[in-house]
Amino acid sequence: MPILGDYHTHTVFSHGHGSIEDNVKAAISGGLKEIAITDHGFYHDFYGVRRMDLGNMIDEVKRLRSQYPQIKIYLGIEANLVSSSGDVDIEESDYEWLDVLICGYHKCTSTTSIKEYCNFLLPNFVSGITKFSAKQVVKNTDAYIKALERYKIDIISHPNYGIKTDVKEIAKAAAHYGTLLELNGKKVSMTDEEIMSVLETNVGLIIDSDAHSPEKVGYFGVPLSYVDRLNIPKERIANFNKLPVFRSKNERADDKSKR
């Protein structure tokens, strides 16, 4: 197994069909060294994690770390990009329990104001049905870059899924901050040309399953087919025969050293 960790998986706490332990056991069975539990963010109208469940999730991950020491278990979240200002649906206090922060755009989320609903969410929802204007692409790209500036985002999940952006510009910003771009296990939403443009930057890539059921944990066939077909350099992939060091870990270490 050349991919050593799966850092994007869902459970019954959001849109998944298995427990946290089910995902962990599937990862062990598949030979993975690490797994992250990254359920959907709090603002998702249908599948978001409920804050009242966080304590149970944290306790469950602590228990499983003791029970399954052969694998490293991260607790994270797949936060939602919810405004043109780069807002995502976490709070500063969430960094205390977050081991990994993924961020992506999803339909059917709440936002910070009626203005942002009309300015960001609604235009993207409609454009996803019709066509994205050049102006909307610029606005979406700026929103991602602002989010990268404001939050310790480790992974941009499924770039261009449900939204249209200039992925090369996002990749430049991500490279600057140490954020990885995901090649998603369910669907790679970038075109071949967009992937090649991303490779012209210094951004790192990561391959994840985006599993919504335990049997999909560790399934990487879709992104690996892109790696082979487009000759994507293996050394650009953060979890290919190695383990990633996430941006948030580096920034937290820097924060502690400054105290």
For 83-97, how does the pLDDT look when each residue is reduced to its tens digit (9 = 90+)? 999 999 999 999 999
When pLDDT is averaged across residues 68-92 and rounded to a whole number, the result is 97
Element (H, E) at 55: helix 54-67
Q: Mean pLDDT across the stretch 235-248?
A: 96
How much is the pLDDT for 255? Answer: 59
Residue 52 has pLDDT above 90, yes or no: yes
Average pLDDT along the chain? 95
pLDDT at 248: 86
Topology at the third CATH level for domain 5-258: TIM Barrel (3.20.20)
What beta strand segments (E) does the chain contain? 5-6, 34-40, 72-80, 100-104, 155-156, 180-184, 205-208
Query: The tokens 């797949």 sit on which residue?
Result: 78
What is the model's pLDDT at position 190? Answer: 97
Distance spanning both ends of the chain, measured CA to CA? 41
pLDDT of residue 34: 98
pLDDT above 50 for 77: yes
pLDDT of residue 1: 67
Given a cut of 60, whether residue 259 has pLDDT beyond it is: no
Please state the rounded mean pLDDT for residues 146-157: 98
Average pLDDT value for residue range 124-136 = 93
pLDDT tens digits along 181-197: 999 999 999 999 999 99
Band the pLDDT of 250: cuts 50, 70, 90: confident
Domain boundaries of the chain, sorted by first residue = 5-258
Question: How confident is the model over 149-167, as a mean pLDDT?
Answer: 97
Tokens of 69: 């020491």
Q: Which residue from 203, 187, 103 is spatially nearest to 144, judged by alpha carbons?
A: 103
Q: What is the rounded distance in angstroms from the CA atom of residue 182 to the CA atom of residue 209?
A: 10
Nearest to 103 by CA among 29, 177, 33: 177
Q: Which residues contact 179 (CB under 8 A, 6 or more apart)?
A: 148, 153, 154, 155, 156, 173, 203, 247
Q: How confident is the model at residue 249 (pLDDT cuts 50, 70, 90)?
A: confident
* Residue-wise DSSP of 79-121: EEB-STT--BS--GGGGGT-SEEEEE--SSB--S-HHHIIIII
Contact 37, 77 (CB under 8 A): no
CA gap 136, 60 in Å, rounded = 41
